[in-house]
Amino acid sequence: MEKRKDFASKMGMVLATAGSAVGLGNIWRFPVEAGNNGGAAFIIIYLLCVLTLGIPLIVAEFVVGRAAHTNTAQAYKRLTRNTFWQQTGRLGIITGWLIMGYYVVVSGWTLAYFLKALATPPTIAAHIAKQPGYWSDFFNELTSDALLPVLCVIAFALMSHFIIVRGVEKGIERFSKVMMPMLFILLIVLCICSFFTPGAKEGLTFLFRPDFSQVTFGTLLSALGQAFFSLSIGMGCLCTYASYFSRDTDLLGTALKVAGIDSLVAIMAGIIIFPAVFSVGIRPDAGASLVFIALPSVFQEAFGAFPWLAYAVSVMFYFLLLLATLTSLVSLHEVPTAFLAEDFRMKRRTATTIVTLSVIVIGTLCSLSMGPLADWKLFGKSIFDCLDWVSANVLLVVGGGLITFFVGWKMESKTLRDELTNYGNYPYHTRKWIIVLLRWFVPFVIFLIFLSGIGVL
C-alpha cells in the first residue's frame, strides 16, 4: 500500500475542507431556502444552527478522523471494539457514494449551463431573454435528454477523477489552493455587480431585514437540514479530510474557519441572487428552479443596458457554481477512494478508477431517471428523487446522530480530550462546551430532524 500523505500546509488544509463545504448547498439550495422561509429571519436562525449544531458536529468528525488517522470506515474500528459503533463509518461511505450519484448529475447541469452561457453571444442572449418559457423549456429538455446530461456526468466524474488520483497533497490540496481563491474573487465581483441592479435595495432589504412573523417550526427544521447538507456533516467526509490533518492543527479553530467561510459564501450567494431576482419581479421563493430557470434571464434583464456585462455575469456565475460543485464532489470522491485504497490495499489509481466508474453508472441511472427511465420507481420516487431523499433526509441525519452519540458518549474520554486540546496545548475548560453540546443538545435536535425527514413531524 502507498504511504499515507497528509495535507502539507495549514492554508491548503483549510481551503480544501472549506471547498468540501462550499457547493450547491450554498449557491443553489441556500437562496431557495432563504426565499421560502422569509429571508433575513431564516439567515439568523441558520447561523444559530451552524453555531450550536454545525460546529460541534464538525469538531466531532475531526476528532474521530485525526485520532484514528485513517479512512472513515477504519476510523471507528480503531477507536472502539463495539461492533455496532464500528459500522458508523461504513454507513458514511454508503451515504457518500449515493450522494455522489445525484450530486454529479446536478454538477453536470452546471457544466451544461456554463458552456451554454459561454457559447451564447450577448445579442442572442438578449433575444432569448425576451422569449417567455425559453429557459424552462431548455431546463426540461436538458434534464430529460438521454445523452447530453449523461455526457456532462461523465465529464464531471472525470474532472474529479484526475484531481483525486493525484493524491491528497498534489491533487486535492493544490487544486483547492487555486480554485478557492478564484471562487472568492468571482463571488466578490458578482456581489459588486449585484449592488448596481435596479432591485438591489429591495433584494438586500429582503435578505437583511428580519421578519420573524414568518418563522415556524418548519423554518427551524429547514435551517437545520440546510446546515447539515451545506457543512458536509454526517457522512465521514470531514472525518476523512481530518485524517490528513497534522497533530498541531487546532480542530476547533479549523471548524470555526470552515463554518465561517461556508456561511459567508451562502450569504454572498444571497447578495448576488436576490437583487437580481427582485430586479425582474420574480418571487424570491421561486423554488429549486431559481438558479437554472429564473436566473439565466434575470441576469440579462438586470444588466440589459450592457449586453456584454450581462454576458460576463452569467458566464462568471455558472463558472462559480461549477468550481464550487467540483470542490465538493472531490471531497465526496475521496471518502470511498480512501476506503478502497486502505481497506482493500489497492493502489490509489485503481481505487479512484473503481469509484469513478461506479459514480458514472449511478449518475447515469439518476440522470436517465428524469427522462427515458422515468417509469423506474424506487419507493414510488424516481431514482434521482429517491437518492436525494434517502441520503439527505435519512442517511445523513442518522449518520450525524451516530457520530454525535459516539463522540459524546462512547469514545474514550482521554482521546476526546487530547484531540480537543491538542494534547494539552489549549485549556480544556475553553473547549468543554463542545462536549456538552455533543452529549445533550445535538442528539436531541438530530432526533427532531430525523422525525421531520421521514415525515412524522
Q: Which is nearer to ligand PHE, 26 or 254 (by Cβ)?
A: 26
CA gap 200, 402 in Å, rounded: 44
The answer to whether 400 and 228 have CB atoms below 8 angstroms apart is yes
Residue with cell 475542507: 17
Contact 97, 80 (CB under 8 A): no
CB of 333 to ligand PHE, least distance (A): 10
CB nearer to ligand PHE: pick between 327 and 364: 327
What one-letter code names the amino acid at 20?
S
CB of 406 to ligand PHE, least distance (A): 18
CA–CA gap between residue 242 and residue 13 (Å, rounded): 9
| Residue 442 · residue 408 · CB < 8 Å | yes
The least CB distance from residue 156 to ligand PHE, in Å, is 14
The minimum distance between CB 249 and ligand PHE, in angstroms, equals 20
The C-alpha cell of 457 is what? Answer: 413531524
**How far apart are the C-alpha atoms of 337 and 165, rounded to whole Å?**
9
Which is nearer to ligand PHE, 197 or 230 (by Cβ)? 230
What angle (nearest 5°) sits at the alpha carbon of residue 76, between those of residues 71 and 80? Answer: 150
Min dist CB 230 to ligand PHE, Å, is 4
Cβ closest to ligand PHE, residue 96 vs residue 371: 96
As measured in angstroms, the least distance from the Cβ of 322 to ligand PHE is 12
Residues within the interface to ligand PHE (CB under 6 A):
20-21, 23-26, 99, 229-230, 232, 235, 237, 328, 331-332
Q: Which is nearer to ligand PHE, 125 or 179 (CB)?
A: 179
* 268/280 with CB nearer ligand PHE: 268
Instruction: Using the minimum distance from each CB to ligand PHE, give the nearer residue, 231 or 315.
Output: 231
**Residue-wise burial string across 123-134, b where 16 or more C-beta atoms lie within 10 A, e elsewhere:** eebbebbeeeee
Q: Which is nearer to ligand PHE, 280 or 320 (CB)?
A: 320
Indicate the residue among 220 and 335 with the shorter CB distance to ligand PHE.
Answer: 335
Smallest gap from residue 172 Cβ to ligand PHE (A): 13
Name the DSSP class of 28.
I
Contact, 115 vs 148, CB < 8 A?
Answer: no
Long-range contacts, stretch 3-11, CB < 8 angstroms, 24+ apart: 4/69, 4/70, 4/244, 4/342, 5/167, 5/168, 5/169, 5/244, 6/168, 6/169, 6/244, 6/245, 6/246, 7/168, 7/169, 7/173, 7/244, 7/245, 7/246, 8/169, 8/173, 9/173, 10/249, 11/177
- Min dist CB 136 to ligand PHE, Å, is 24
Tell me how far, at minimum, the Cβ of 111 lies from ligand PHE, in Å. 15
| Residue 83 burial (CB count, 10 A) | 8
